[in-house]
Amino acid sequence: MFNTDMAVMEMREVRKDLPCTVTPTKTLLGFDLKFHSGYEVTVPLKELAGNENLLTIIFRVTPLDRKDEPSFFVQRWKVPAVEEEAKGEAFLQGAFDLGEGKYQVDWLMRDRAERVCSFYWDTEAQLNNREKQIEVGVPTSTARPTETEQFREEPAVQRNTKEEPIAVKLLVNFAPQNAKSATLQPYDTSALVSMLRTISRDPRLHRFTVIAFNLQQQRVVYKQEEGDRIDFPKLGEALESLKLGTVDLKRLSQKRGETEFLTELIRTEAGVNKEHLDGLIFAGPKAMLEANVSQETLKEVGDPEFPVFYLNYTLNPQATPWRDAIGTAVKFFKGQEYVISRPRDLWFSVTEIVNRIVKSREGRQQARAVASGN
């Protein structure tokens, strides 16, 4: 930082030496259970004319209840050669994460000629009365850089070791919200990864089996056998192999290939190792297939003897209000389906799911104790 940078921030006067338009983005709770805030800025290209330039953005985020503990952020952009009479605008943006609280943001941008554009605003990160139980992923009155790596390693969790290990199996359909999309974008995976992280952070759960699959390609992308944590980096590496725009000709020739794939997946994963499993959780966007898994097949799988759940990730539930193929199978197993369209849906659904798994486990243990005469 230059000495003049602090002087500009302290004055809190909007400056346009370097013409630009700054628009703060609304602070919202994300599916990762963190508040996300930020800004968008445009600069006329003709203001950047020349062989090259360097734009430096510095901003300070100060919690109003802890004004002596501000957080500073910096971003830099190298600007390529721009013609003198260039038309249009350059568009830049930045983001940061917040814990609950009220904040003051002091923002400035300067170029190599030390021309300055500055702007200031206040923002608030607040849970409403229905969301007060949610544990936000950033401490109160704290600003942090936005985490850009979705598949980073999850910090260790102190598990409850007083009880026998509780094991869950997670079957996740990694697919875009738009079934016709040829790519799996970061926003497609963010909610699904957040579901896995939220489940894995519950200290009452000990063992995790993860099966990541894609119905369109009719294949299991990644499988992690029972482990004490979910290996997110390896899951991310495996998902890079998804190429949704291409389908194997052999699979394309199968009229109900997706249904057959889902049928075999349920038969394989719900019908084995029942004695070592305490809960089965499906997750993913709506899977509207030409045909559902037949009831005859589901009867062959039999009573899972443990609770079955479905976290149905759909941003617009009203668009497709009817039950999909996975939901139909879960209903057959007398399972529970949860529609996840907002972050709070994820928090409360996972909390209820784990409570039901623990209660079911205790009930089975008591039944076995009675049967053995203890």
DSSP assigned state of 264: H
pLDDT in the model for residue 249 = 55
Q: For every residue of 40-108, which 3-state class applies, written as one string?
A: EEEEEHHHHCECCEEEEEEEEEEECCCCCCCEEEEEEEEECCECCCCCCEEEEEEEEEECCEEEEEEEE
Per the listing, tokens 């909610």 go with 191
The structure's pTM equals 0.88
Helix (H) or strand (E) holding 237: helix 232-239
Domains, the chain: 3-126 (2.60.40.10), 167-370 (3.40.50)
pLDDT above 90 (res 54): yes
By C-alpha distance, which of 185, 232, 198, 173 is closest to 345? 198
pLDDT in the model for residue 348 = 95
Query: Residue 203's CB: how many other CB atoms inside 10 A?
Result: 11
Q: How confident is the model at residue 31 (pLDDT cuts 50, 70, 90)?
A: very high
Beta strand 279-284 with 308-313 is parallel
| Rg of the chain (C-alpha set) | 25
Amino acid at 372: S
40-54, 246-260, 277-291, 328-342, range with the lowest pLDDT: 246-260
Cα dihedral 252, 257, 261, 263 in deg (nearest 10): 180
Beta strand 308-313 with 89-98 is unpaired
- The predicted-structure confidence for 65-99, as pLDDT tens digits, reads as follows 999 999 999 999 999 988 888 899 999 999 999 99
Cβ(125)–Cβ(101) below 8 Å:
yes
253: number of CA atoms within 13 Å, CB side? 3
Beta strand 116-125 with 15-16 is antiparallel
Mean local confidence (pLDDT), 161-182: 85
Amino acid at 126: Q
Report how far residue 234's alpha carbon sits from residue 224's, in angstroms, rounded to the nearest whole number.
Answer: 9
- The predicted-structure confidence for 278-324, as pLDDT tens digits, reads as follows 999 999 999 999 899 999 989 988 888 899 999 999 988 888 889 99
- The predicted-structure confidence for 243-278, as pLDDT tens digits, reads as follows 765 555 555 556 688 999 999 999 988 876 666 789
Report how far residue 163's alpha carbon sits from residue 145's, in angstroms, rounded to the nearest whole number.
Answer: 38
Cβ(44)–Cβ(89) below 8 Å:
yes
Cβ(137)–Cβ(328) below 8 Å:
no
Give strand pairing partners of 143. Answer: 98
